[in-house]
């Protein structure tokens, strides 16, 4: 093999390594809480799921008619315990929140809400995770802002807290005339 060919074989892996390093480094600077929803501006996907509270069958129609939050949670989720007091505060201030109990057991979810309080106007049971999959959920907690037409306006991945409310939700709601009347 000539020296020209040997130099080429050394150069090709080096270029590949540099390209891979650049690709990986670009991902490190991304905030996992700022994962936009591919469904932003689109209606909540069609679903037919039981209600944890009433046992009735709920559909995507339940998420129309008013501005509201859809909060994905589960009793298995440690961060859901952390965000729960803030969800209770939002509910006390008049913010309608529909819960989606994600990949959980009904009895555990009922016990959780009885013990820690229920901030939800309704709770969708998504035991098999299909609705979560249709929404593009990565895990719990995640919170979606839904407009009166049942369209996803924004998505927040991670704990719902005053910072998330002030930086993400409040500006959108302010622009819409603050229809939820929640904290700013």
Q: Please tell me the predicted confidence (pLDDT) of residue 121.
A: 98
Mean pLDDT of the chain: 87
Write out pLDDT tens, residues 71-126. 999 999 999 999 999 999 999 999 999 999 999 999 999 999 999 999 999 999 99
Over residues 153-179, mean pLDDT = 94
Is 140 a residue whose pLDDT tops 60?
yes
Q: What percent of the chain has pLDDT over 90?
A: 73
Decide: 88 and 117 in contact? Cβ < 8 Å. yes
Give the three-class secondary structure for 136. coil
Q: Residue 157 is encoded by which pair of tokens?
A: 């991945």
d(C-alpha 56, C-alpha 33), whole Å? 33
Q: Of 41, 42, 62, 58, nearest to 50 (Cα)?
A: 58
d(C-alpha 175, C-alpha 151), whole Å? 16
| 142 beta partners | 72, 157
- Check if CATH label 3.55.40.10 holds for domain 35-175: no
Decide: 77 and 140 in contact? Cβ < 8 Å. yes
Over residues 148-175, mean pLDDT = 96
Decide: 125 and 49 in contact? Cβ < 8 Å. yes
Q: Please tell me the predicted confidence (pLDDT) of residue 178.
A: 73
Alpha helices in 117-166 (DSSP H): 130-135, 162-164
Q: What percent of the chain has pLDDT over 70?
A: 77
Cis upstream peptide for 141 (omega within 30°): yes
Over residues 144-155, mean pLDDT = 97
Decide: 90 and 178 in contact? Cβ < 8 Å. no
Segments making up each domain of the chain, as ranges: 1-30, 35-175
């Amino acid at each position: 093999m000539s020296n020209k060919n040997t130099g080429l074989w050394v150069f090709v892996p080096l270029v590949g390594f540099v390209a891979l390093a650049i690709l990986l480094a670009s991902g490190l600077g991304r905030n996992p809480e700022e994962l936009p929803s591919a469904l932003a501006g689109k209606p909540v996907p069609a679903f037919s799921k039981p209600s944890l509270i009433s046992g009735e069958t709920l559909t995507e129609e339940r998420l129309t008619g008013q501005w509201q939050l859809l909060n994905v949670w589960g009793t298995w989720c440690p961060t859901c315990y952390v965000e729960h007091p803030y969800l209770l505060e939002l509910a006390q201030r008049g913010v309608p929140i529909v819960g989606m109990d994600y990949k959980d057991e009904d009895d555990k979810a009922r016990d959780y809400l009885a013990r820690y309080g229920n901030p939800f106007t309704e709770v969708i049971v998504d035991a098999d995770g299909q609705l979560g999959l249709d929404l593009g959920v990565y895990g719990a907690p995640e919170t979606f802002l839904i407009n009166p037409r049942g369209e996803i306006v924004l998505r927040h991945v991670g704990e719902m807290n005053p910072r998330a409310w002030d930086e993400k939700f409040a500006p959108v709601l302010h622009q819409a005339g603050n229809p939820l009347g929640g904290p700013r």
